[in-house]
Structure 1
Amino acid sequence: MARPRSDDKRAAIMAAATRIIAAQGLGAATAAIAKEAGVSNGSLFTYFDTKADLLNQLYLELKAEMGTAALGGLPAADERAQTLHMWSQWMRWATANPHKRRALAQLQVSDEITASTHEAASRTMTGMGRILERSRANGPMRDSPAALAFTLCNALAEATIDYIISDPDHADEHTQSGFDALWRMIA
C-alpha cells in the first residue's frame, strides 16, 4: 500500500532540491536532496517517480513563482508603468532568492527538462509575455520574433540582477537603469 503524501514533505523536498542544485549543480545526488529535506531517499521517490520528474516539477514551480512575483500588484496603468512594475518585481524576486535564481538558471538549460515542461512553464509566464508584447507593439523590435525579444529581455534582466547583487546599496538605481535600457530596446 502506498504511503500517504504530505504537502509539507513535498515542499521540504522542493526547497532542499533548490538549495542543493544551486550549490552543487544538476548532478547532485537525490540522496543529498533527501538528506537536506530530512526525508529518506525512498521517501523522495514517493513524491517523484524519477530525478528527472523532480527536476521538471521544480522547474515548473520556480518559473510559476517568478512569474507570480513579477505580476503581483500589477497596476491598471499604461504599458510603460506595467512593464516597470513587472521588471521591478522580477528584480526583487531574483535578488531576494539567489538560490532559486541559480537553480532556475541551471534547470533552464538542462536536457532533463522536457519540451512539454518548457511549454507548461511558458504558459505560467503568459502574463509577462502579454505585457512585453504590448510594450513592443510599436517599438523597434515590433517585427522581430517574439522569442528573440524575450531572450534579449531575459539577458538584460540577468545582467541587471548580477549588478544589483554586486552593489545592493544602489539596487533601486540599477533596477531603473536596467528598465530604461529595456524600454529603449523594446518600446
Structure 2
Amino acid sequence: MAKLQKSIDKRTALLRATLCLINNGGIQEASMAKVAKQANVSPATIYLYFENKQDLVNQLYIEVKTDFTSKVFQGYDAEAPVKKSFEQIWFNMSAYKSKQKEEASFLSQCDNTPLIDEETLQEGLKLLKPLFDLWLRGQNEGIIKNISPFLLYAYTIYPMAFLTNMQKRELYQLNNEVLQTAYQAAWDAIKV
C-alpha cells in the first residue's frame, strides 16, 4: 500500500510541476528535465507514468478539467429551471476560477493555444455536456437564443475568464456586486 501511495505521489508531483512550469513560462518551459527537477524525481521516472511530453500535458488537462467540472456541476439539478441552473453553474465556475487560480489559468491556456491535442480537447468538451444540455433545454423551451453552444460559451463564460484574469493581474477587483452584474450581463446576452 505504501508503494502504491508513493507512486501516486510521484505522478501527482509530476503533474503539479508541469502545471506550475506551463503557467509560469508556457509549454516551452515545461521540458521533461525541468518537470523532473521541480517534481524532485529522476527524468526517467516521468516515462513510468507518461509516454512523452504531449501525453503528460494531455493527462494534466483531463485531470484539471475533470476537477473543474466536478466543482462546476456540484449541486446541479438537471430538473431545476433553466435560469436557476445556469446561475448556479455560472457562480460555481466563478468560484472555481477565483479559488483555483493556477488550474484556471492552465485551462484558459489550453482553450486558447494548441497545448493539447484535438482528441483530448474533445474529451474535455464532453465533460461540459451538462451545461450544453442545459442550454439545449433552454433553447427548446424558448428561453435561450437558438445559437451555437460555442457562441453561448463565448458570451457567458469567456467574459468571466477575462474578469478573473484582470483580478489575477491586480487590475480589477471582483466582489459580490461585480459578480452579480457580470452574471446578469451573461444571462442577458443569451436569453430570448
TM class by shorter chain equals 0.7 to 0.9
1:107 lines up with 2:103 in the alignment? no
- The residue that corresponds to 2:182 in the other structure is 178
| Match in the other structure for 1:129 | 132
Matched, 1:19 2:20: yes
1:85 alignment partner AA: Q
* 1:55-103, Cα deviation, whole Å (9 max, x unpaired): 1111112222111111112255311111111111101111111111222
Alignment partner of 1:9 is 2:13: no
Q: Cα distance 1:132–1:36, how it changes in 2: closer, same or farther (>3 A)?
A: farther
Higher RCO (C-alpha under 8 Å, 6+ residues apart): 1
Q: Compared with structure 1, are the counterparts of its residues 64 and 183 closer, same or farther at alpha carbon in structure 2 (3 Å cutoff)?
A: same
Within-5 A mapping of 1:147-166: 147-165=150-168, 166=170
With the length of structure 2 as denominator, give the TM-score of the two structures: 0.84
Q: Report the counterpart of residue 61 of structure 2 in structure 1.
A: 59
- How many residue pairs were aligned? 183
RMSD over aligned Cα atoms? 2.3
Query: How far apart are the structure 1 equivalents of 2:139 and 2:99?
Result: 28
**TM-score normalized by structure 1?**
0.86
Contact 2:27 2:115 in 1 (8 A): no
- Cα separation, 1, equivalents of 2:56 and 2:113: 13
- TM superposition shift of 1:112: 4.5
Q: Report % sequence identity.
A: 21
Q: 4+ residue runs of structure 1 moved beyond 6 angstroms?
A: none
Structure 1 distance, partners of 2:66, 2:95, is: 15
Task: List alignment gaps of at least 5 residues for structure 1.
Answer: none
- Seen in structure 2, the aligned counterparts of structure 1 residues 35 and 111 have a Cα distance that, compared at 3 Å, is same
Q: Write the letter of the residue equivalent to 1:18.
A: L
Alignment of 1:40-119 (within 5 A): 40-75=42-77, 77-119=80-122
